Amino acid sequence: MHENRGLAVAIAGVLVVFAAMVGGVIILLSWMGITGYAVFKMVMGGADDDPNVAGIIIAVVLLVTTLVTLTAVGIRFIGKGMEPKKRADREREAYGL
Residues for the chain: how many in total?
Answer: 97
> In terms of residue numbers, what domain contains 44?
5-95
pLDDT for 28:
92
In the predicted model, residues of the chain with pLDDT beneath 50 are none
pLDDT for 26:
87
pLDDT for 43:
87
Domains held by the chain: number: 1
